[in-house]
Structure 1
């Protein structure tokens, strides 16, 4: 299967062309041979690409790509990244907002699957687009139990602002840099907001709004959609895959 075919398929299921985004999404670099093994990485950087070379991948799917609105000259570190890709004939596909918000394969929807939360809907306005998921538990649960579930199913919680109720029934999950959705969560009377990375200004918003905010880290929270797409491509096209981890700790 060629990279162009994989790119077209992903564009169709993720609705890439329909979703406005500052990121240049889709197939941004082709290669000259069939794709049998795909690497998955959150960030477009030399360590991730080098891991792909070592794993002998034919294509890498990134969440954060190299181009954001303004065309960039291929010089310096950006040149070195593309040089590695060209030398090893590796294709590149990028999916940013489409992979955040997809109702099945998105970071936030896949979190609902991992956490076995059945009742959820759109949440989190970002330039007129809903990117997260608002959820309701079948039964109320203790905040500490939810924290344990997150660590068991997704990964380490890097920070928790426990400013709200100790027993929670409803919340929202928005991957990445998403504390901007905090006012919406407070307005809706949610008990907890799960996001990626913290921002200093949000502390006062959260403590005065009496809401719990859980931070999973930007990087970790945005590995989820990649995991979902990797499994889907393997099941549908029998494509081998490997993750190319370069965790930032943030």
Structure 2
């Protein structure tokens, strides 16, 4: 058993949470029992994931998408009440890390995605920003646009939306997990062959076609499954806790 407060303080420091202006609070969001021996990780603190954590006897639920987002309604009613009540009734701590878990140089979603795809990281999507959320890099070998789509499909288990902006081989790429379709302009400015993210907007298609860049929407959930898993395994090494990642299917 380890003290929850110490484990959370360690994570806050490891991920440098105080350096971020985020859309939600990072760290402990709902307080449960004081000691932790079993951690469940997942992408989003949905009711299905909470129910799975209860079934696993978890002391702590660690997610990328937690609660209390900027601009959301403050009253704890309805769906929010049911989720928080379930956590409190079973003494489960809810810990969430959003931007700090996207950016981290070893455990972050973007680095972890690159590792699974075998991409070589050469810098940030925003080269002059030391906390650039996205990254740029190169494929180990040049691929056609369709071949890169197939690589993403095989690695993530989800067929990406592929918009062809050119017919050239793809070698230089940029990527940002989650809902980062608005960053396509940054990828265009870098002159890369392709931009990979999780989601897509209507205008993204026109930008890709008119600017001559391949675009891939590989799934918000699918691209952000790996940082929280890496953090969970890191905590196993540091604190000797048990860890299980639970993937609640989400096609988006």
Is the pair's TM-score, using the shorter chain for normalization, greater than 0.5? Answer: yes
Q: Is the 8 A contact 2:102 2:133 kept in 1?
A: yes
Q: CA deviation at 1:171?
A: 0.6
Q: Is the 8 A contact 2:126 2:134 kept in 1?
A: yes
Q: CA deviation at 1:169?
A: 1.2
Work out whether 1:145 is the aligned partner of 2:147. yes
Name the counterpart of 1:69.
70
Name the counterpart of 2:53.
52
Cα deviation code 1:10-54 (max 9, x no counterpart): 111111111110111111222224211111122222111111111
Work out whether 1:37 is the aligned partner of 2:67. no
How far, CA to CA, are the matches of 1:105 and 1:64 in structure 2? 16
How far, CA to CA, are the matches of 2:143 and 2:162 in structure 1? 16
Secondary structure at the residue paired with 2:76?
A: coil
Q: CA deviation at 1:153?
A: 2.8
Match of 2:162 among 150, 160, 163: 160
How far, CA to CA, are the matches of 2:156 and 2:233 in structure 1? 16
For the aligned residue pairs, the C-alpha RMSD in angstroms reads: 2.0
Q: CA deviation at 1:138?
A: 4.5
How far, CA to CA, are the matches of 2:119 and 2:238 in structure 1? 25
Q: Is the 8 A contact 2:5 2:34 kept in 1?
A: no
Name the counterpart of 2:83.
81
Structure 1's 167 and 38: CA in aligned 2 closer, same or farther, altered over 3 A?
A: same
Q: Is the 8 A contact 1:194 1:213 kept in 2?
A: yes
Q: CA deviation at 1:117?
A: 2.4
Q: CA deviation at 1:82?
A: 0.9
Structure 1's 178 and 128: CA in aligned 2 closer, same or farther, altered over 3 A?
A: farther
Q: Is the 8 A contact 1:117 1:137 kept in 2?
A: yes
Q: Is the 8 A contact 2:29 2:95 kept in 1?
A: yes
Match of 2:214 among 212, 215, 222: 212
Q: Is the 8 A contact 2:29 2:67 kept in 1?
A: no
Aligned length, in residue pairs: 249
- Structure 1 window deviating more from structure 2 (26-35 vs 171-180): it is 26-35
- Structure 1 window deviating more from structure 2 (161-170 vs 175-184): it is 161-170
Work out whether 1:24 is the aligned partner of 2:43. no
Q: CA deviation at 1:4?
A: 1.2
Match of 2:201 among 190, 199, 202: 199
Secondary structure at the residue paired with 1:83?
A: helix
Q: CA deviation at 1:174?
A: 0.4
How far, CA to CA, are the matches of 2:140 and 2:250 in structure 1? 34
Structure 2: give runs of 5+ residues left out of the alignment: none
Secondary structure at the residue paired with 1:105?
A: coil
